[in-house]
Amino acid sequence: MSAAPDDLWQVRRMRTQDVAAVLEIERSSYSHPWSERIFHDCLRVGYRAWVVDRAGRSVAGYALASIAVGEAHLLNLCVAESARGHGAAGRLLDVVIARAAAENANELFLEVRPSNRAARRLYARYGFETRGRRPNYYPHRHGREDALVLSKVITI
Ligand SMILES: CC(C)(COP(=O)(O)OP(=O)(O)OC[C@H]1O[C@@H](n2cnc3c(N)ncnc32)[C@H](O)[C@@H]1OP(=O)(O)O)[C@@H](O)C(=O)NCCC(=O)NCCS
């Protein structure tokens, strides 16, 4: 798939039928991908989930979040390698932040690998700040890797 100009991305709710396409992106993007079951469980328990695509074409990325009792957590944000660098993740983040605000969340939290430079640049651009570090949080080829905990205060 060729990448779309930055203004042509469309975000919609993730459906069960999207999971196969989502899983393909997940498996090619992460060294330790989520299983199919995790995605189905997320949809079943009512986590908020979206996909981004270009005018009804194949899924280019997705985001999942939990929003409850004044806090939102970004659980997964991923864009297919062929679509990166064109703002798709930003369109997804815009929707997550708007949804969190609509559900009265005051802050949006996420974890990121310190080594994930593309993601950290994206989150910095969106005003996320580092709040802490979870030691040995992520599996890594050579043992474990810490997670940085980032958050952004949501203003309505
Ligand atoms: C992090 C991620 C979601 C960003 O998605 P994206 O749609 O490329 O986001 P953007 O277009 O806003 O680009 C984000 C940054 O990465 C850079 N980038 C990443 N991949 C790129 C590529 N293939 N080509 C060009 N630029 C790229 C962009 O230049 C941009 O940096 P900038 O802010 O300095 O300009 C995507 O790289 C990804 O899915 N990575 C694998 C999964 C992952 O790590 N998710 C985050 C978990 S916390």
- Half-sphere exposure in the Cβ direction for 14 (13 Å, CA): 32
Average pLDDT of the segment spanning 72-76: 98
Average pLDDT of the segment spanning 10-25: 97
Q: What percent of the chain has pLDDT over 70?
A: 96
Residue 117 inside a domain? The answer is yes
Q: Name the domain count of the chain.
A: 1
Q: How many CB atoms lie within 10 A of CB 23?
A: 17
Residue 1 inside a domain? The answer is no
What residue's CA is closest to ligand 1, atom 42? 78
Please say if the pLDDT value at position 102 is more than 80. yes
pTM score, whole prediction: 0.92
Q: Say what the pLDDT of residue 2 is.
A: 54
Residue 148 inside a domain? The answer is yes
Q: Which atom of ligand 1 is nearest to the CA of 79?
A: 39
Residue 2 inside a domain? The answer is no
Q: Say what the pLDDT of residue 4 is.
A: 56
Q: Which atom of ligand 1 is nearest to the CA of 118?
A: 16
CATH of the domain at 96: 3.40.630.30
Please say if the pLDDT value at position 114 is more than 80. yes
Q: What percent of the chain has pLDDT over 90?
A: 84
